Structure 1
Amino acid sequence: MTALGIDNLNVWFGTDRDRVDAVKAARFDVAIGESFGLVGESGSGKSTILRAITGLAPTWSGGITVEGKALQGAKRDREFYKTVQMVFQDPYASLHPRHTVDQVLSETLHLHGMADIDARVERLLHDVGLGKRFRFRYPHQLSGGQRQRVAIARALAGEPDILLLDEPTSALDVSVQAEILNLLTDLREEHKLTYLMVSHDLPVIGHMCDRLAVMKDGEIVEIMQSDDLRNNTAKHAYSQSLLAASVVG
């Protein structure tokens, strides 16, 4: 069984003359335990795929399956959110400014029907590299990297199998980006997670992912192994141009 299946996915916004086709006939599978990347320039449709999976982009056709279960329309049930969680790009916007870290995590745990909330909050903070001293702080009292760690902890609260990562480090200082990427790498191993990660940064995808799809103007032009990035062996001309503009170590 695959963790995620995308089959002939089309996503659009607007109608008639105002219609914009953001994703066109996208097709790929993500194996259980795999980390799969979506790369391309801004506007290529990569984040829109994540939004279609989560129901945030409601107008789509084709097939989306999560652990063998086909999704329909934009409505997602509680079981979906226990399986799939998303970490957004901007840690400044994704946390409620008047809620403490404790409130953010406790409320999420409660929504997932978890018991022993007090102990689970402390465990989540430990898992993301934050100690108990951060528990009753507000977002404005945290750095960007610390906020993103809280956002990751919130995503882990329901013990999901799959994390959707939408440019999770692009809003952070360069010095902090590597720390968050290393944290995500460790969490994937510790919690046996599957990742679908969006980034415009090829070195990040090369470091984090096993395979990747290259997107241009809403279409997937190539699916390759991450080793192809490091060995500079992309086949499609657009993929080659992305590689030429980036250094992947």
Structure 2
Amino acid sequence: MLKIENLDVWFGFPPDRVDAVRDAAFAVARGESFGLVGESGSGKSTILRAIAGLIDSWSGVIEVDGRKVSGNRRDRAFYKTVQMVFQDPYASLHPRHSVDAVLSEALKLQGMTDIDRRIPRLLEDVGLGGGFRFRYPHQLSGGQRQRVAIARALAGDPQLLLLDEPTSALDVSVQAEILNLLTDLRAEHGLTYLMVSHDLSVVGHMCDRLAVMQHGRIVEVMDVDALRKGAAQQDYTRHLIAASAGYQRG
């Protein structure tokens, strides 16, 4: 579903150029959930933004469903296949747009018809009833806002979702609900996920395989069974696992 080869992403120009991602390579099978983990600033979210067309200073190969993309140009066919869910549900929804307006706009942009019929179905898919349709973001909790953001991403029936730490801005009590929702949606719709997280327990729950990033490079690709067993090949990965286990014990 997704293939990344020799991906470099940078910001600025010499001598001030910053190389955020260097020579990244991995592949995500159709229907798989793949995680990107690492410390803040390691380049995880930058990869998602390059795929989505939000960064144009990159080189290498980005291939989605067998089609190579170039620069930051993405056509409607791309966005019918790929959608992104952002980290902060408080910033990703327009404060003056109702849920109905948010979803209507997304459906129209995807060329969908029968909008009045589709909106209740989208809300039902993400666990929100029809009573939420005409509410505004300030009338919603953080978890409800993120459910609306997920519904917006699902509007065009995409195949690949880019998930940029979709629960890190939420209360701990709500995080599990959103993760379980994403798990159910993946099963129901046959979705493929590329998920960024700094939380190894989230990746262990959500993903089949993961890539570990450090200083813009992928240092190890492993499956979740190896993560759970602590069977890492690289010292940095072992350090991350140990730090995560120590935090959980505390």
TM over 0.5: yes
Report the TM-score when normalising by structure 1. Answer: 0.98
Alignment of 1:69-218 (within 5 A): 69-218=67-216
Counterpart in 1 of 2:39? 41
Residue 232 of structure 2 is aligned to residue 234 of structure 1: yes
RMSD: 1.0
SS of the residue aligned with 2:244? coil
2:109, 2:79 → 1: CA distance?
A: 10
Q: 1:32 aligns with which of 30, 33, 46?
A: 30
**Aligned partners of 1:182, 1:114: CA distance in 2, in Å?**
27
SS of 1:158's partner is coil
In structure 1, the residue corresponding to 2:15 is in which secondary structure?
Answer: helix
TM-score of the superposed pair, with normalisation by structure 2: 0.98
Instruction: Give the distance between the partners of 1:216 and 1:142, measured in 2 at CA.
Output: 36
Partner of 1:7: 5
Percent identity over the alignment is 74
For residue 52 of structure 2, what is the amino acid of its counterpart? Answer: T
- CA distance in structure 2 between the aligned counterparts of 1:72 and 1:112, rounded to whole angstroms: 21
3-state SS, counterpart of residue 180 of structure 1: helix
Deviation at 1:74, TM superposition (A): 0.7
The residue correspondences of 1:46-61 to structure 2 (distance < 5 A) are: 46-61=44-59
The farther-off stretch of 123-132 and 51-60 is 51-60
Unaligned runs of 5+ in 1: none
Paired with 1:55 and 1:80, the residues of 2 have a C-alpha distance of 10
Q: Give 1:150 deviation, angstroms.
A: 0.1
Unaligned runs of 5+ in 2: none
Quick one: distance in 2 between partners of 1:111 and 1:57? 21
Q: Which amino acid aligns with 2:236?
A: Y
- Structure 2 counterpart of 1:243: 241
Deviation at 1:54, TM superposition (A): 0.8
Find the aligned partners of 1:108 and 1:233 in 2 and give their Cα distance. 43
Q: What residue in structure 1 maps to residue 63 of structure 2?
A: 65
SS in 2 for 1:137: coil
Q: CA deviation at 1:119?
A: 1.0
Q: How many residues align?
A: 247
